[in-house]
Amino acid sequence: MTTIALASRLDLSQVTPLATALRGAAGADLVLDASAVTHLGGLALQVLASAAKSARQAGTSLIITPRSDAFDDALAVFGLSPADIQTGEAA
Amino acid sequence: MATDPMAEIRASFFIECEELLESLQDALSDMDEGSHDNETINIVFRAVHSIKGGAGAFGLDALVAFAHRYETVLDELRSGRMTITPDAMKLFFQAADFLQDHVRAARDAAPPPEGSEDCLVSLEALIGGGAGPVVEEEVTDFQPMGLAFDFGPVDEAPATPVWTVRFRPSAALFSSGNEPLHLLRALGKLGASSTTCDLSRLPPLESLDPESFWLEWVVEITGDVTDFDIREVFDFVEDVCEIEITSGAAATLPSGAADFAMPDFGMPGAAALDLPPLTPDPEDPVPVAAAPAPQAEVIAIAKSEPRVEAPPPPPFVAVEMPAASGNGPAQREAASEPSATVRVDLDRIDRLVNLVGELVINQAMLAQSVAEAGLPPNSAVMTGLEAFMMLTRDIQDSVMMIRAQPVKPLFQRMARIVREASSAVGKEVRLRTEGEATEVDKTVIERLADPLTHMIRNAVDHGLETPEKRRAAGKTSEGVITLSAQHRSGRVVIEVVDDGAGINRPKVREIAISKGLVAPDAQLSDSEIDNLLFLPGFSTADQVSALSGRGVGMDVVRQAIQSLGGRITIHSEPGKGTRFSISLPLTLAVLDGMVVNVAGETLVVPLSAILETATLTDEDIRALGPNTNVIHVRGAFVPLYDLGAELGYRAPKSSYAGGIVLLTAQENGTRSALVVDSILEQRQVVIKGLQRSYGHIPGVAAATILGDGQIALILDPPDLVQNASGRTRSPAFALAG
């Protein structure tokens, strides 16, 4: 189980580091700590959703917990629920 | 990002509101006078409805809530389920007043007016029960603001519109600093919305290129939203995303819309102009573009930023249209007819007025130099100059006309003052207005509001008697205040007339004596007593009432009128009423004047004040008392004033035989003769106010710059005469010296 803490502002500048980190952890069960997230941008969302998709295909789990209110709020605005970008059982 | 356009649209919404409120007042007045036809009622309904719709778009909840409940009651009226009674009319008027307050409060971000709830409750009692406070869903349940709704006024309101927005950002959207999160959030604020995110095209992480973007959203918005509102959200990202706005729920979209293929998604900018058409479906329940043809166009000049594509229809176009159906009451005045209008910033007009003023001065200078060059009168230069002068005059007239506005809105405000004042003191008062179409300079209108308000309140509070007293005096219990405007001898005369008891002269005199304003043994004529009302600190109210009597009296009114270059006179008949006349210049910028010479000084006398000029002979002049003379003109005696002496340029002459007099008239019809040394010419002069630097100078209205660059005072003959000593004989001067 690998835990990655997400940066607080997931905007354009954080997308490539985020994608790199997630790719580096591919194949393992992942927990993303989104407790510090104050802003979730569209590109970062795309990376997270894409990572969930890959994990789903690989049969590994990807859990985002804990999540800040801002994170959940942004997800709702994007018309998504946490389940859409997670996969596998919460530990 | 979109703050500026929003502020502009907001500002124009409030301007529209003022127009709607005006038409609301008009229609209510028509109803009050017995026009109960559908068209009139519909105008009322439509005005309230449009305000509500627009307010909804701007999230002005208090205004929306009030308008909604008002509208609900009006809807009962419109559908014929309630009848119009005098009491109902009163409440409708009151509600209209509150609506106006709400609009102003919303505009100034002030707290909503107090007491509107009571008004609504009374209003709702009329229809039994009431609409109840508006609930959250209802707030959004509106028509788009003022668009094409209501051309079939009795139709049922169309169903709540639903919009489907497909939004696919390109990578360039991010690199240009935008963020779909904000856009989606803004969309969500437009109305009840549901957002779905399409992840189907998203590649797995391994093959994800962070430079591309694969998500797209479909947002369904329900509520009082227009195509324009939605498009505005995407105002700055139109070229970096794909947007498709369709009316109706997503499920009802034509199948083609679902294809929604984007040619080259990876290349930012390539999709820039490949936007789907803006117009909604033909079956769209909210036919933005389907308004009937005869629409007046309101162009907001300030709002001229080019857009990437054809701009959506201006949001408030329909507002000027209601009267266009033409089957309203026949007496509807020309002023309220819809016509093409252009909104121009007042500053620009003022600059134009100023420039024209300079043009007039310049032209006068040119004329002077041409005259000095000694060219023959029929030379080409002279002929050209004459044509130039006529042109200048035409330009000037036209420019002045831009600033002129009918006094109607001002009078409508006064109607409200009457309603409020009369209910505050428990009197029944009807306001009659005459000459609403009379046009006056905009500044004059604006600055008249306060003095007129004061005068109207005075008329209600002091002028009119209580209903009991009126009945005892054999009058109808309802008092009548007449507010009229008309053009008279180059000026605008505005009168406030009440049919009350008239001025109680013994009481006025008594108060003036007790306040030390006049000597106890002073012999005062009726009109002198009446004029005591204008003395500072004079107040006849025995008790300070809520309306008047706080010591801010008619002196303030007079000051305000004078600062506009106007005069106020009073005329009262015991038992019959009181008449206040305000006489104002038509414009504050230019006047036709007679340039005269007095004791070596050049002065300008407004032409409008001059009846005739004459040369005096010895026989014309008669002595009256030790200091004064009168002249005999056309069978009447007219007091003689020496301008040179009155203005302190010289001592009165020993003889005025052979002198030139200007016969001037005052508003009350009395005449006076002003002696001048010579008449130089007659010409247009540009008024340069002195008020700002010197305050009011008795007898002097303003100053001007003549063609030779010299500064000349513009006289105000009636004011001059009022303050004149009338000394036209030397002995008095010798004594005074």
User: Taking residues B39-50, what's their average pLDDT?
Assistant: 85
Residues of chain B whose C-beta is under 8 A from some C-beta in A?
A: 169, 174-175, 179-181, 184-185, 188, 194-197, 199, 202-206, 208, 210, 213-215, 217, 219
Instruction: Please tell me the distance from the alpha carbon of residue B572 to that of residue B594, in angstroms, as a whole number.
Output: 34
Instruction: Please state which CATH number belongs to domain A2-85.
Output: 3.30.750.24
Question: Residue B298 pairs with which residues in a beta bridge?
Answer: B341
- Predicted confidence (pLDDT) at residue B390 exceeds the cutoff of 90: no
Residue B335 · residue B406 · CB < 8 Å: yes
Instruction: Please tell me the distance from the alpha carbon of residue B62 to that of residue B68, in angstroms, as a whole number.
Output: 10
Q: What are residue A25's phi and psi, to 5 degrees?
A: -95, 5
- Predicted confidence (pLDDT) at residue B289 exceeds the cutoff of 70: no
Of B179, B203, B214, nearest to A41 by CB-CB distance is B179
Question: Residue B681 pairs with which residues in a beta bridge?
Answer: B595
- Closest by Cα among B670, B666, B713 to B688: B713
Residue B247 · residue B162 · CB < 8 Å: yes
Q: What is the pLDDT of residues B608-666, one digit of tens each?
A: 778 889 898 888 888 888 888 888 888 888 888 888 888 888 888 888 888 888 988 76
**Omega of the bond leading into A66 within 30 degrees of 0 (cis):** yes
Q: In chain B, pLDDT over 70 holds for what percent of residues?
A: 77
Nearest CA in chain A to B180: A42
Please give the sequence-ordered ranges of beta strands (E in DSSP) within B444-574, or none if there are none: 479-488, 491-498, 567-573
Instruction: Please state which CATH number belongs to domain B407-585.
Output: 3.30.565.10
Instruction: Please tell me the distance from the alpha carbon of residue B714 to that of residue B716, in angstroms, as a whole number.
Output: 7
Q: Binning pLDDT at 50, 70 and 90, where does residue B311 land? A: very low
- Predicted confidence (pLDDT) at residue B149 exceeds the cutoff of 80: no
| Residue B40: both structure tokens together | 């009139």
User: Taking residues A62-80, what's their average pLDDT?
Assistant: 90
Which residues have CB under 8 Å from B138's CB, separation 6+?
B68
Identify the pLDDT of residue B531: 83
Instruction: Please tell me the distance from the alpha carbon of residue B604 to that of residue B607, in angstroms, as a whole number.
Output: 9
Nearest CA in chain A to B199: A49
CB atoms within 10 A of CB B161: 23
Which sequence spans correspond to the domains of chain B? 3-155+318-323+333-343, 162-285, 346-404, 407-585, 590-736
Across the interface, do A23 and B203 touch by the CB < 8 Å criterion?
A: no
Q: What's the CATH architecture for B3-155+318-323+333-343? A: Up-down Bundle (1.20)
| Residue B390: both structure tokens together | 């006529």
Nearest CA in chain A to B185: A77
Q: What is the pLDDT of residues B113-143, one digit of tens each?
A: 888 888 888 888 877 754 444 444 344 444 4
Instruction: Please tell me the distance from the alpha carbon of residue B146 to that of residue B699, in angstroms, as a whole number.
Output: 52
Kindly list the residues from chain B whose CB atom is less than 8 angstroms away from the CB atom of residue A40: 181
Q: Which of B183, B205, B215, B240 to mutate to test the interface with A (most CBs of A within 10 A)?
A: B205
Interface predicted TM-score (ipTM)? 0.93
Q: Is the dihedral of CA B724, B726, B727, B728 positive or negative?
A: positive
Rg over CA atoms, chain A: 12
Q: Which of B90-94, B104-108, B309-313, B358-362 has the lowest mean pLDDT?
A: B309-313
Across the interface, do B180 and A47 touch by the CB < 8 Å criterion?
A: no
Instruction: Please tell me the distance from the alpha carbon of residue B314 to that of residue B141, in angstroms, as a whole number.
Output: 21
Which residues have CB under 8 Å from B469's CB, separation 6+?
B501
CATH of B162-285, one of 2.60.220, 3.30.70, 3.30.1490, 1.25.40: 3.30.70
Cα-Cα-Cα-Cα torsion B375, B380, B383, B385, nearest 10 degrees, comes to -70
Nearest CA in chain B to A80: B197
Class of domain B590-736 (CATH, top level): mainly beta
CB atoms within 10 A of CB B364: 22
Q: Are strands B678-686 and B590-598 parallel, antiparallel or unpaired?
A: antiparallel
A-B C-beta contacts closer than 8 Å = 77
Q: Does A40 touch chain B (CB under 8 A)?
A: yes
